[in-house]
């Protein structure tokens, strides 16, 4: 296999920082997503998503050192995630990923994963 991780190939922490910061900038202005967040300060949520994605793509395992096993499905159970919420999440993330300046192969690999993950976290069909 390729010894250089996707994480490193796309520019490491800086790239993930940029993507997740851009995503949360959109979330703050999104009437569907913003009410789902239990905390007014989105900073800690931004850090958790950034660290999770860095770990998933072969970067440092800081996420699991802080939070343990991701158990993403379980951790999303408190939030109603139907088609409207999924679409809103993907809309915000699409902007963030498209603006990150990745080459097409990496952009598509990241996007396909995020789309699959968002679908897998749905827990409501209304
Ligand atoms: C946490 C919403 C999809 C990864 C959260 C939180 C909300 C939320 C409200 C709590 C914020 C917090 O951390 O305090 C949603 C919605 C989604 C979605 C509406 C639409 C499908 C995803 C996807 C991923 C993801 C696709 C990963 C690829 C995470 C992570 C956390 C989180 C890592 C923090 C978990 C923890 O350590 O507590 N999400 N999410 N989410 N979400 Fe999502």
Give tens-digit pLDDT for 83-105. Answer: 999 999 999 999 999 999 999 99
In this prediction, residue 3 carries a pLDDT of 80
Whose Cα sits closest to atom 30 in ligand 1? 49
Instruction: Name the residue ranges covered by the structural domains of the chain.
Output: 8-120
Per-residue pLDDT tens over the stretch 51-61: 999 999 999 99
Q: Which atom of ligand 1 is nearest to the CA of 56?
A: 28
pLDDT at 1: 56
Confidence (pLDDT) at 48? 98
Distance 41 CA to ligand 1 centre (A): 15
Longest dimension (CA), the chain: 43
Reported as a pLDDT band with limits 50, 70 and 90, residue 42 is very high
Residues with CB under 6 A from ligand 1: 33, 36-37, 39, 45, 48-49, 52, 67, 72, 75-76, 79, 81, 85-86, 89, 114, 117-118, 121
CA distance 106 to 49: 19
Mean pLDDT across 113-118: 98
CA angle in degrees (0–180, nearest 5) for 37-41-47: 85
Domain topology for 8-120: Globin-like (1.10.490)
Q: How far is the CA of 1 from the centre of ligand 1 (A)?
A: 30
Residue of minimum CA distance from atom 12 in ligand 1: 45
Mind listing the pLDDT tens digit for each residue in 5-19? 999 999 999 999 999
Separation of first and last alpha carbons in the chain: 42
């Amino acid at each position: 296999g390729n010894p250089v991780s996707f994480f490193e190939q796309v520019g490491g922490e800086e790239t993930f920082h940029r993507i997740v910061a851009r995503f949360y900038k959109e979330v703050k202005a999104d009437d569907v997503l913003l009410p789902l967040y239990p905390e007014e300060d989105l900073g800690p949520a931004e850090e958790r998503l950034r660290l999770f994605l860095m770990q998933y793509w072969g970067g440092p395992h800081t996420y699991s050192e802080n939070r343990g096993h991701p158990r993403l499905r379980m951790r999303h159970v408190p939030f109603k995630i139907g088609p409207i919420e999924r679409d809103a999440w993907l809309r915000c993330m699409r902007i963030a990923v498209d603006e990150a300046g990745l080459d097409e192969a990496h952009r598509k690999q990241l996007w396909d994963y995020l789309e699959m993950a968002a679908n897998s976290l749905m827990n409501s069909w209304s």
